[in-house]
């Protein structure tokens, strides 16, 4: 707020994303907020650009609650978009650039965004999307020349005065993150202002974020994986250092150059860092927190990474789009070799402050400690629901708990272990088989590059365990040998009955996971018993 202006009736007691920007700009005006290649913006400059972009969006006719889509690699403009759309009163709906045009078209139709922001890299896709879609305005947020028919992002910022925050807050929707289900109708997960602010503060409390934080973001900003660190770091008044895409050498260089204090990655990304020739030559001592998710950290990888990131706490987190950000965290000490005897390192840790977790059976009855069931979550970071899908929302949030679709167990101390996706569990001859466990056994076989274990129809057992694999370059895979290998590791009923070796890489979903529904579909055509 400018001196001399009256106090604006704002969100008052309700959390608001705009309010967090207002605070950061008020407290840290001259500190650097964003570093994007050779561009650096202070909080004052960043907030100014956000309020001007918000003015431009309003001038284009943005109504309260209207959606604005973005299709772009990471850049400072992506962060401006995160903030400017809610500031202007709208809802930001980032698009996964890995999706095909028909998938993107379905999402645009679902959220009815009439403004689409696109960068240089994705111009072709954007052009293909216009026409049949609800999009009325295409904004070009790139450094190259603005193509005819598009509005230039920087010109819009220059041409519009900053506008006041539209005052949306609390349970108003701020963001729509589409999940990566590649079949069926797209699911737009609604994040409220309270969701974003509360989860940010709970996460900051858990991993320790403040105005001295320098967060290196290498994952794509269309995904909650990156947003889940980016938003909390900004709410805390920290600095964001962006990579347009993950590249291990660049990550190492930027940690050294920008003195990054925190970053997040999956174990395979960390493996690429550790194996990189520059790893030992970079000064990585600034890194205080290394967040990882998706899989436990192998002991050998920890042993290699600890000397490299001597000051870093290795913190395992678990969350999903529907929970806005992480719901659990496993503190570093449990990950370290010295504490492996506590046997917590395969877990994803415990609930963040303000969050409840439970493990339930198929009738939504609470299970005793260590029993496997579906993990359910409640608390202020649970999504409002799915956009325009009230029935799916009611089913997913029944009894006020988010049903994660993850199978897991919770021990007597509250540590959570994820064993599989509920829908990936295979029931064969009355036994539950967790595909993730079988996949881990298959992956341990030399030369396996990719593996998906699925259930396929079987006349006697209901389902049979089937593995689909692809080989590493130069490797030759023998189905019988893989099955024999599995038998040496896991119980016979869990082992694949059949193994299919593919020459082509397995299909990936939008979130870069192997697309199991697509793999399962041909086996289950014309059968109602398996919801693919």
Region 29-88 residues binding its own copies, contact defined as CB under 8 A: 29
Integer Cα distance of 450 and 480 in angstroms: 17
- Helix H or strand E segment including 121: none
Q: Which is nearer to its own copies, 115 or 381 (CB)?
A: 381
Closer of 104 and 236 to its own copies (Cβ): 236
CB of 343 to its own copies, least distance (A): 17
Measure the CA–CA gap between 32 and 241, rounded to whole angstroms: 10
The reply to whether 397 sits near its own copies by the rule CB under 8 A is: yes
Task: Give the shortest CB-111-to-its own copies separation in angstroms.
Answer: 21
Residues 435-454 close enough to bind its own copies by CB under 8 A: none
| Among 303, 366, 484, 491, contact with its own copies (rule: CB under 8 A) | 366
- Whichever of 17 and 243 has its CB closer to its own copies, that residue is 17
Tokens of residue 72, six digits: 């772009």
| Pairwise CA distance, residues 41 & 36, whole Å | 9
Name which of 93 and 355 has its Cβ closer to its own copies: 355
Listed residue (307, 308, 357, 306) closest to 328, CA to CA:
357
Nearer to its own copies among residue 181 and residue 380 (C-beta): 380
Residue of 275, 283, 413, 478 interacting with its own copies (CB under 8 A)? 413
Span near its own copies by CB under 8 A; candidates 135-143, 296-304, 360-368, 472-480: 360-368
Q: How far is the CB of 181 from its own copies (least distance, A)?
A: 23
Looking at beta carbons only, is 27 or 521 nearer to its own copies? 27
- H/E element holding 342? none
Among 117, 313, 376, 426, binds its own copies (CB under 8 A): 376
DSSP assignment of 400-423, as one string? G-EEEEEEEEE-TT--EEEEEEGG
In this structure, the strands spanning 214-217 and 67-71 are unpaired
Is residue 414 at the binding interface for its own copies, with CB under 8 A as the rule? yes
Q: Candidates 47-55, 274-282, 375-383, 493-501 — which segment interacts with its own copies by CB under 8 A?
A: 375-383
Provide the sign of the torsion angle of the four alpha carbons 68, 72, 74, 76, taken in this order: negative
Q: Which residue has the tokens 């995904």?
A: 223
Name which position in 368, 427, 475, 478 contacts its own copies (CB under 8 A): 368
Binding to its own copies (CB under 8 A) within 495-524 occurs at: none
Determine if 348 is a binding residue for its own copies (CB under 8 A). no
First to last CA, the chain: 52
Q: To the nearest whole angstrom, how small is the minimum distance from the Cβ of residue 526 to its own copies?
A: 35
The rounded distance, in Å, linking the Cα atoms of 244 and 32 is: 18
Q: What's the token pair of residue 303?
A: 């042993």
Looking only at the bridges linking them, the beta strands covering 91-94 and 67-71 are parallel
Among 45, 128, 294, 367, binds its own copies (CB under 8 A): 367
Q: Which of residues 304-323 bind its own copies (CB under 8 A)?
A: none
What lies within 8 Å, CB to CB, of 346 at 6+ separation is 296, 417
Parallel, antiparallel, or unpaired: how do β-strands 289-292 and 313-319 relate? parallel
Among 86, 379, 455, 517, binds its own copies (CB under 8 A): 379
Q: Which of 50, 60, 156, 351 binds its own copies (CB under 8 A)?
A: 351
For its own copies, which is the closer residue by CB, 47 or 499? Answer: 47
Residues 357 and 319: beta-carbon distance below 8 Å: no
Q: Does 281 bind its own copies (CB under 8 A)?
A: no
Helices (H), 161-263: 193-207, 224-235, 248-258
Is 400 among the residues that bind its own copies (CB under 8 A)? yes
Q: Pick between residue 331 and residue 479 the one whose CB is nearest to its own copies.
A: 331
Half-sphere exposure of 409 (CA within 13 A, CB side): 11
Distance CA 83, CA 21 (A): 8
Q: Does 8 bind its own copies (CB under 8 A)?
A: yes
Q: CB under 8 A: which stretch of 7-15, 223-231, 250-258, 440-448 binds its own copies?
A: 7-15
Residues 241-270 touching its own copies, rule: CB under 8 A, are none
How many Cβ atoms from other residues are within 10 Å of residue 132's Cβ?
10
Q: 256 or 411: whose CB is closer to its own copies? A: 411
Answer whether 389's CB lies under 8 Å from 421's CB.
Answer: no
Q: What's the closest the beta carbon of residue 328 comes to its own copies, in angstroms?
A: 10
| Contacts of its own copies in 159-218 (CB under 8 A) | 194-195, 197-198, 200-202, 204-206, 208-210
Question: Is 362 among the residues that bind its own copies (CB under 8 A)?
Answer: no
Query: Among residues 248, 332, 345, 331, which one has the least CA distance to residue 295?
Result: 345
Binding segment for its own copies among 98-106, 109-117, 270-278, 398-406 (CB under 8 A)? 398-406
- 236 is a contact residue toward its own copies (CB under 8 A): yes
Q: Binding residues for its own copies, how many (CB under 8 A)? A: 71
Nearer to its own copies (CB atom), residue 7 or residue 480: 7
Binding status of residue 481 toward its own copies by CB under 8 A: no
Which position among 246, 386, 401, 434 is part of the footprint of its own copies (CB under 8 A)?
401
> To which residue do tokens 């999903």 refer?
320
Query: 267-275 and 299-308 helices cross at what angle (nearest 10)?
Result: 50
Residue 74 token pair: 């990471």
Buried b (16+ CB within 10 A) or exposed e, 221-255: bbbbbbbbbbbbbbbbbbbbbbbbebebeebbebb
Which residue from 151, 295, 306, 358 is in contact with its own copies, where contact means CB under 8 A? 358
* 260-289 burial: b if 16+ Cβ within 10 Å, else e: bbbbbbbbebbbbbbebeebeebebebbbb
Segment contacting its own copies by CB under 8 A, of 121-129, 295-303, 355-363, 429-437: 355-363
């Amino acid at each position: 707020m400018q001196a001399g202006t009256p106090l604006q009736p704002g969100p008052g007691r309700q959390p608001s994303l705009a309010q967090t920007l207002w605070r950061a700009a008020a407290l840290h005006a001259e500190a650097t907020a964003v570093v994007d290649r050779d561009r650096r913006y202070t909080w004052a400059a960043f907030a100014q650009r956000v309020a001007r972009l918000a003015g431009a969006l309003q001038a284009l006719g943005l109504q309260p609650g209207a959606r604005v889509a973005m299709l772009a690699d990471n850049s400072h403009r992506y962060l401006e978009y995160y903030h400017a759309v809610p500031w202007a009163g709208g809802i930001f709906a980032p698009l996964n650039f890995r999706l095909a045009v028909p998938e993107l078209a379905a999402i645009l139709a679902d959220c009815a965004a009439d403004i689409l922001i696109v960068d240089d890299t994705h111009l072709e896709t954007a052009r293909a999307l216009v026409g049949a879609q609800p999009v009325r305005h295409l904004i070009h947020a790139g450094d190259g020349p603005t193509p005819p028919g598009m509005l230039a992002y920087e010109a819009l910022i220059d041409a519009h005065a900053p506008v006041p925050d539209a005052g949306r807050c609390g349970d108003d929707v701020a963001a729509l993150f589409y999940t990566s289900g590649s079949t069926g109708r797209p699911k737009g997960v609604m994040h409220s202002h309270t969701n974003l602010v509360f989860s940010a503060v709970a996460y900051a409390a858990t991993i320790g974020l403040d105005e001295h934080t320098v967060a290196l973001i290498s994952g794509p900003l269309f995904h909650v994986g990156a947003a889940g660190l980016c938003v909390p770091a900004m709410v805390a008044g920290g600095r964001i250092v962006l990579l347009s895409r993950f590249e291990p050498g660049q990550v190492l260089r930027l940690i050294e150059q920008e003195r990054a204090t925190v970053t997040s990655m999956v174990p395979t990304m960390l493996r690429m860092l550790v194996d990189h020739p520059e790893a030992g030559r970079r000064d990585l001592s600034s890194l205080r927190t290394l967040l990882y998710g998706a899989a436990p950290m192998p002991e050998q990888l920890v042993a290699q990474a600890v000397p490299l990131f001597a000051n870093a706490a290795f913190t395992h987190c678990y969350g999903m789009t529907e929970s806005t950000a992480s719901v659990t965290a496993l503190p570093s000490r449990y990950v370290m070799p010295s504490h492996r005897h506590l046997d917590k390192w395969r877990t994803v840790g415990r609930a963040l402050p303000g969050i409840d977790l439970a493990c339930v059976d198929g009738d939504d009855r609470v299970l005793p400690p260590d029993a496997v069931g579906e993990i359910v979550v409640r608390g202020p970071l649970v999504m409002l629901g799915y956009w325009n899908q009230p029935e799916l929302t009611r089913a997913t949030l029944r009894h006020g708990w988010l049903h994660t679709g993850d199978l897991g167990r919770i021990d007597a101390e509250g540590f959570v272990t994820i064993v599989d996706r509920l829908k990936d569990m295979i029931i064969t001859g009355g036994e539950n088989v967790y595909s993730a466990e079988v996949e881990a056994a298959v992956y341990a076989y030399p030369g396996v590059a990719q593996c998906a274990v699925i259930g396929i129809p079987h006349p006697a057992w209901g389902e049979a365990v089937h593995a689909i694999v692809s080989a590493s370059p130069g490797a030759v895979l023998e189905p019988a040998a893989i099955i024999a290998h599995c038998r040496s590791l896991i119980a016979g009923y869990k082992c694949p009955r059949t193994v299919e070796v593919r020459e082509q890489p397995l299909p990936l979903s939008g979130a870069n996971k192997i697309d199991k529904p697509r793999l399962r579909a041909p086996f289950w055509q014309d059968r109602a018993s398996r919801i693919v």
